[in-house]
Amino acid sequence: MIMQPEKGHFYAVGVGPGAPDLITLRAARLIEDCDVVVAPRSNRSEESLALRIAAAHIKGQEVLEQVYPMVRDQEKTRAAWAEVADWILPRLEAGKSVVQITLGDPLIYSTSAYLLEALAERVSPERLHIVPGISAMQAAAASFGLPLTLQEDRLTLMPATDLDAVSEALDRSETLALYKVGGGLPALRELLKSKGLLECSRLAYAVEQEGREQLFTNLDDVDASLGYMSAVLVHKAHKPWIA
């Protein structure tokens, strides 16, 4: 099925982890053909990375760049995206098609989820669409040549913000993908050492982002201040098929 933008419809589109040629054909077509492009940018960044990735597909559309608070505060976050919904609704009602571009996939730790939640209160479901994108987890695994799952393997994706939860996940997963590592790397490194899993761990920073990407097969080599866009993959072993 080929998706074409419709008047008065909204599209949450993943543009992948960083490389422009990892945007899917569907995502590229919608970005080019929609009337309005919404590009998120955190208040800690000087530019919208999603907008930079999608730059080749911006051809005179109206662009709304939304600066959102990078804080662990549900109320402030939801309020910020409710404001964006207020921008979008009049455009939808005027018959314009609107696309929001977001890093990775719209449903994996994405600002799109908040915007979709705000829009769902006032827009009918058939006018809201989601286009998946390649996630940082997938891109990192490809960079390391690391199969995420085989046979009966269990894959867990979670933030690295709660080390007790991470420890439990390590005990029940063959592969663990950790986002939001950031400044928590030293403590995570000690946890992995205590479980004898440091050699099974890989870290990707700004994966697929030209000029920024750094890949590490030894976490002892990683500077703890590397940054928020760090993902760690821990692969223990493959679980055999259950007879």
* pLDDT tens-digit map of 169-187: 999 999 999 999 988 999 9
Domain ranges of the chain: 10-131, 136-235
User: How far is CA 60 from its chain centroid?
Assistant: 26
**What length does the chain have?**
243
Structure tokens at 164: 């007790």
Amino acid 111: pLDDT: 87
pLDDT in tens, 7-16: 999 999 999 9
Mean pLDDT of 99-108: 97
Amino acid 85: pLDDT: 93
DSSP per-residue letters across 116-181:
HHHHHTTS-GGGEEEE----HHHHHHHHHT--S--TT--EEEEESS-HHHHHHHHHH-SEEEEE--
φ/ψ of residue 123, rounded to 5: -125, 135
Mean pLDDT of 180-202: 94
Question: Helix, strand or coil for residue 41?
Answer: strand
**CA 7 to CA 92: how far, in whole Å?**
7
**Phi/psi class of residue 8: alpha, beta or left (left: φ > 0; alpha: ψ in -120 to 50)?**
left
Whose tokens are 């946890």? That residue is: 191
Q: Which residue has the higher pLDDT, 54 or 229?
A: 54
Q: What is the rounded end-to-end Cα distance, in angstroms, of the chain? A: 38
Amino acid 82: pLDDT: 86
Mean pLDDT of 29-58: 90
**CA 151 to CA 149: how far, in whole Å?**
7
User: CB under 8 Å to 157, separation ≥6 — which residues?
Assistant: 108, 137, 177, 179
Amino acid 243: pLDDT: 62
φ/ψ of residue 137, rounded to 5: -60, -45
**Percentage with pLDDT > 90 across the chain:** 78
Specify whether the CB–CB gap between 68 and 118 falls below 8 A: no
Per-residue pLDDT at 43 exceeds 80: no
**CA 156 to CA 174: how far, in whole Å?**
8
Mean pLDDT of 148-177: 96
Amino acid 41: pLDDT: 81
**Phi/psi class of residue 16: alpha, beta or left (left: φ > 0; alpha: ψ in -120 to 50)?**
left
The secondary element (H helix, E strand) that includes residue 12 is: strand 10-14
For domain 10-131, the CATH class is alpha beta
Per-residue pLDDT at 36 exceeds 90: yes
CATH of 136-235, one of 3.30.950.10, 3.90.850.10, 3.30.420.40, 3.40.50.720: 3.30.950.10
